Amino acid sequence: MGTAQIEDDAVVRSWPHRVLDAGDPETPAAIERLTARGDVWSVHDTLEDQLRGLARTRTRNGFLDGAALAAVVEELRGGRQPERFGTWVHYPWSGRLVRLLPADLFRELRSDRNRHKITDEEQARLRSLTVGVVGLSVGNAIALTVALEGGCGRLRLADHDDLELSNLNRLRAGVQDLGLGKAELAARQVAEIDPYLDVEIHPEGITPDNVEAFLGGPPAVDVLVEECDSFPVKLLLREHARARRIPVLMETSDRGTLDVERFDEEPDRPCFHGLAGSVTSAELDELGFEGVLTVGLDVVEPDRMSARLLASMVELGQTVSTWPQLASDVTLGGATVATAVRRIGLGEPLPSGRVRVDLGPTIAGQAPGPPSQEAAPVLVPPAERARAAEPAPADDLARFLVAHAVLAPSGGNAQPWRFHPGPEWLLVAKEAARAGTWFDRSGHAALVALGAAVENVVVAAAHRGLRAEVEPFPHDAGPDVVAAVRWRPDQGVGAARAAALFPFVVERSTNRWPGTRAPVPEADLQAIEGAASAYGARLAVRTAEPDLAEAGGVFGAADRLRLLNAALHRDAVAELRFDQGDHPTGIEIESLELSTFERRLFGIASRPDVTEVLHRIGGGAAIEAGAAKAMAGASATCALVLAGGTPEDWLAGGRALQRLWLEATARGLSLQPMSALVYMLELRDRTDVFDDDERARLDVLDRRVRRLFGLAERDQVALLLRLHYAPAPSRRAGRLPVDEVLRAIS
């Protein structure tokens, strides 16, 4: 607060203001000097109106007038001459000289409309509080609301930033204030509300060197309001506040979230309710950007945040430079935190925890609660599994072959197969309950998976010294049967080569590690290409760096299109298993080989309400980064091209895929399908799936991928792949038990 000093030094047009006692004999000369220097631009003297207002307030008579009113006014003046009563306040930043009631009378009149929502005794108690506010964007609204209510007697403000034009969507200031420090701006605004309120500013912000002085004073802070942007500073403040048993309040300006940490009542309470784990502020500074942001995401609980804010977080560095804040949210935060400060100051119940005052649903007449599907995606139960009418036969060979057949790859690890054994044969059939998703309406992905399972049967039979013969779609075996595999003893060259691949049936897996780019020996590439051609397919391979970069762009754009499309997003998320149990179907989240930070962002992008916002604003470019990162570590990218487009060709393509994958595994190469585009192109004409813009983008991606691999219009691509060198996967996909897929023919 300004003082009654009347030095002759030049007045700097900045905070603090000056309060001059009208009864001080030197005040008239001080005002004259201010005026002579040009520091007074306007004079505002409404003291008589203030006195009359106070008189009516004191007598509880809003109609008091005439001689009765004059008598009360004279009594309030206490016998002092009118010109020597009250104070003059000079605001150097605006050049205003304002005449006001003395401090006690000013506060009595200014807080009159608080009565009896806040009693006089409570108002006096609140004036003993020291409230510290760190971060003065959201904190500006809080500081002003607390000051307006008379919710404290001292404010201590800290922020190192200056006001920018982009702050004016939510921060009450004028364009004439641009470039002004936010701490000084708030102090000026408070002084214009109540020039007698004690305000201290720390324009350098909070650092490890000054945090103790900020909290400890004197006087010590009674309630800390933390609204800064730096997560290490947030944690630093809590560590010191906890040590001093100072309660901490935070408002996140999203869904009206108010955070309360009553360190005054629970001195051993973990910071951020334990959501930050055991990390300290010093350790946090060493984690780097992604590490800090990961902890920050855990603390704010993204599963409880609004879809629009989460979409904006995904768009950081793309279509937005920082996360958004609205004036309505910030204003609401001022109200909720000021209420919390009052409850703490008056000793009213306010437990630690996190509450949400979500105005959107409330004013729309909706039940309050979390946003639609806001929680992290739960485990999607495996597709309903058909049960055998009778137990499968306990034939050792059949069980052996099926145990290896189920190790084949399948889209989303859906495992769309079942097996019917005979004396010297095995029928391979499609299980409808685990096939036919939105993403595979054609059934082609299921045929590829079934073909891969057939190839595993052939390899496993060869290991047992048997030669397996495959009959695709036997006409008398039923509509779901895709192949009949018969075997006989054989020691030929073909069986020997198949048997040599047997160890890699178990070892083979999808490897999503980014990998390290290294040239693939020509002999290895030829062997892999030759494996694909064994069943009429061919493998188009590209290893040049520009081609790999182009593949990353194409695959990433396809991933983005898939995840932002409502129908396909549901399909993609349904494949994932987010908990850490053992799941026989689906893709374990651990197998995606994401960093902790990437996993948090992936969880955000798994929310349909978030991706709907991203789709609407044309966002989601960050989704493409995963494919670009994968291709940056790839040694080759490949397109598996079928001999034709019949069901037999797709089944043979599955056999070719598995054979080339086993060959690659034998040579120390890892493989990952990147085939979202293939199956989206098959849905391209579905108006219930894609809009016109999405179809146009698919057309462009189709041309790009055909140009990349030198494909003709008639060429049928079954899969797009990347080959790379990488460590073993962190998690291998689960498999259905043999008894669940092996069943007797009824």
Return the domain boundaries, the chain: 18-110, 118-274+325-357, 396-505, 509-724
Using the CB atoms, write b or e for 77-96: b if 16+ within 10 Å: beeeeeeebbbbbbbbbebb
- Residue 227 has phi, psi (to 5 degrees) of -135, 30
- Residue 20 has phi, psi (to 5 degrees) of -115, 125
Q: Are 586 and 575 within 8 A, CB to CB?
A: yes
- Residue 346 has phi, psi (to 5 degrees) of -100, 5
Write the DSSP string, 688-700. Answer: TT--HHHHHHHHH
Bridge partners (DSSP) of residue 226 are 134
The pLDDT value recorded for residue 5 is 41
Report helix angle 444-463 to 396-405, nearest 10.
130
- CA separation for the pair 110, 95 (Å, rounded): 23
Q: Are 673 and 666 within 8 A, CB to CB?
A: no
Q: Is the pLDDT of residue 667 over 90?
A: yes
Using the CB atoms, write b or e for 108-130: b if 16+ within 10 Å: bbbbeebeeebeeebbebbbebb
Mean pLDDT (whole number) for 139-144: 97
Q: What percent of the chain has pLDDT over 70?
A: 93
Q: How is residue 357 written in tokens? A: 């005052």
The pLDDT value recorded for residue 10 is 41
The pLDDT value recorded for residue 385 is 28
Place of tokens 């768009």: 315
Q: Are 262 and 352 within 8 A, CB to CB?
A: yes
Higher pLDDT, 567 or 226: 226
Q: How is residue 201 written in tokens? A: 């500013």
The pLDDT value recorded for residue 492 is 64
Q: Is the pLDDT of residue 717 over 60?
A: yes
Which run of H or E residues covers position 466? Answer: strand 466-472
The pLDDT value recorded for residue 494 is 65
Best CATH choice for the domain 396-505 from the list 3.40.50.360, 3.30.70.1290, 3.40.50.2000, 3.40.109.10: 3.40.109.10
**DSSP alpha helices (H): ranges in 353-435?**
359-363, 396-405
Q: What's the pLDDT tens digit per position in 86-97?
A: 999 999 999 999
Residues 6+ apart with CB under 8 A from 466: 487, 488, 489, 490, 495
Q: Beta strands 96-100 and 42-45: pairing type?
A: parallel
Q: What's the pLDDT tens digit per position in 268-307?
A: 999 999 999 999 999 988 888 888 888 988 998 888 888 8
- CA separation for the pair 163, 180 (Å, rounded): 5
At 453, is the secondary structure helix, strand, or coil? helix
Higher pLDDT, 372 or 611: 611
Which of 146-160, 368-382, 454-468, 621-635 comes out lowest in average pLDDT? 368-382
Mean pLDDT (whole number) for 331-358: 95
Q: Are 670 and 511 within 8 A, CB to CB?
A: yes
The pLDDT value recorded for residue 493 is 63
Confidence of residue 315 (pLDDT cuts 50, 70, 90): confident
Residue 134 CB coordination number (10 Å)? 28
- 148, amino acid identity: L
- Residue 96 has phi, psi (to 5 degrees) of -90, 140
Q: Is the pLDDT of residue 160 over 70?
A: yes
- Same topology, domains 396-505 and 509-724? Answer is yes
Higher pLDDT, 6 or 303: 303
Q: How is residue 508 written in tokens? A: 């083979």
Confidence of residue 375 (pLDDT cuts 50, 70, 90): very low
The pLDDT value recorded for residue 438 is 62
- CA separation for the pair 166, 330 (Å, rounded): 14
Q: Nearest Cα to 535, choosing from 662, 659, 665, 664?
A: 659
- Residue 356 has phi, psi (to 5 degrees) of -125, 130
Burial of 298 (0-12, 13-18, 19+ CB in 10 A): middle
Q: Is the pLDDT of residue 60 over 90?
A: no
- CA separation for the pair 32, 341 (Å, rounded): 42
Higher pLDDT, 76 or 322: 76
Residues 6+ apart with CB under 8 A from 86: 22, 47, 99, 100, 101, 102
Residues 6+ apart with CB under 8 A from 129: 151, 152, 153, 154, 222, 223, 341, 345
Bridge partners (DSSP) of residue 539 are 640
Q: Where are the beta strands (DSSP E) in 491-610?
A: 538-542, 576-577, 587-588
Confidence of residue 437 (pLDDT cuts 50, 70, 90): low
Residues 482, 684, 554, 413, Cα dihedral to 10°: -30
Confidence of residue 460 (pLDDT cuts 50, 70, 90): very high
Q: Beta strands 717-724 and 670-673: pairing type?
A: antiparallel
Greatest pairwise CA separation for the chain in angstroms: 125
Confidence of residue 549 (pLDDT cuts 50, 70, 90): very high
Which run of H or E residues covers position 42? Answer: strand 42-45
CATH architecture under which domain 509-724 falls: 3-Layer(aba) Sandwich (3.40)
Q: How is residue 679 written in tokens? A: 């199956």
Write the DSSP string, 225-260. Answer: EE--S-HHHHHHHHHHHHHHT--EEEE-SSTTEEEE
Mean pLDDT (whole number) for 166-174: 93
Q: Nearest Cα to 101, choosing from 34, 194, 214?
A: 194
Question: What CATH fold (topology level) applies to the domain 118-274+325-357?
Answer: Rossmann fold (3.40.50)
Mean pLDDT (whole number) for 18-35: 96
Q: What are the C-alpha distances in Å from 208 to residues 200, 233, 242, 292, 720? A: 19, 8, 15, 17, 53
- CA separation for the pair 432, 215 (Å, rounded): 66
DSSP state of 624: G
The pLDDT value recorded for residue 392 is 43
C-alpha angle 431-558-417 in degrees, rounded to nearest 5? 10
- CA separation for the pair 397, 393 (Å, rounded): 10
Which run of H or E residues covers position 660? Answer: helix 647-666
Q: What are the C-alpha distances in Å from 417 to residues 115, 124, 480? A: 75, 76, 10
